[in-house]
Structure 1
Amino acid sequence: MRKQPEAPNMIIRPNEVEPFDRGGGVATIPYVGKWNSDRNLVTTGQTVFQVGRGLPLHSHNVEESVLILEGQATAQIGDDTFDMEVGDASWVPAGVPHRFFNRGEGVMRIYWVYGGRYVTRTMTETGETFEHLSENDKGARDQ
């Protein structure tokens, strides 16, 4: 019987991953960083939003799915706005401007999956493009 690799190669736990502070009350736990390789077809992790916080309108070079794990969100995807509750999921096509922000009275936590290993974020307001979770990819703010 072939021995499986030791964790965290196969199992990733949030308390074993160093959060990425996006500033302004938003922190991301990038699970993919623990096992990323050229074979991976997705990038995944979770982000925690404090009350009233969110990210500005932006788009990605790949599609994105977001699942609400805790709290209440408002999502703007293209020209549409949706209220989301725990268990609700969304899908955002590549290149479509979107944002999620915490509209509830407590912490909001989302689980996200990008349809690719190399992910960029283009800020709608400025047109600037950054590598996902790079030093320049911050910008959380009040909504």
Structure 2
Amino acid sequence: MTNTEKILFTKGIRPTEMRLKIYKYLKRKTYAVTLKEMQKVFIAKSEKNKTANRTTFYRNLKTFEDKGLIHQINDGTRVAKFAISDENAKGKYGTDLHMHFYCTKCGKTSCLPNKISEESLPNDYQVSDVNLVLKGICESCRKK
């Protein structure tokens, strides 16, 4: 069994060929990926070269998100972006609490490594969603 298969199994996800491909694709990315970018890779325009049908593709993304394997980022661009969640995240909110960085020059959104402590959140509130986005210019764009 491969490492990717083990990761899916630990999240309660059956490792089908398509799920393995989607997970490996997202894992390789250093920034959050839009649905449009993923569709270009996984949903071919012609039936002959089709990798996955649209319904299967969306269903797999939803499964990954529901199981905490990936998370959706709203960076203010009105375009859903997805990134791999921290494999070791275990908290009362079921996901790692971290910030994101949106580059106003290249348009890429990245997960930042520093986590936010759950202890810093008030006990008498029930958090259902966290969206922390810093905006500015990324290191790559600053070097250009």
Which TM-score band (shorter chain)? Answer: under 0.3
> Under a length normalisation based on structure 1, what TM-score does the superposition of the two structures give?
0.28
Q: As a proportion of its length, which structure holds more helix?
A: 2
Structure with the bigger RCO (C-alpha within 8 Å, sep 6+) is 1
Q: As a proportion of its length, which structure holds more strand?
A: 1
| Structure whose alpha-carbon radius of gyration is higher | 2
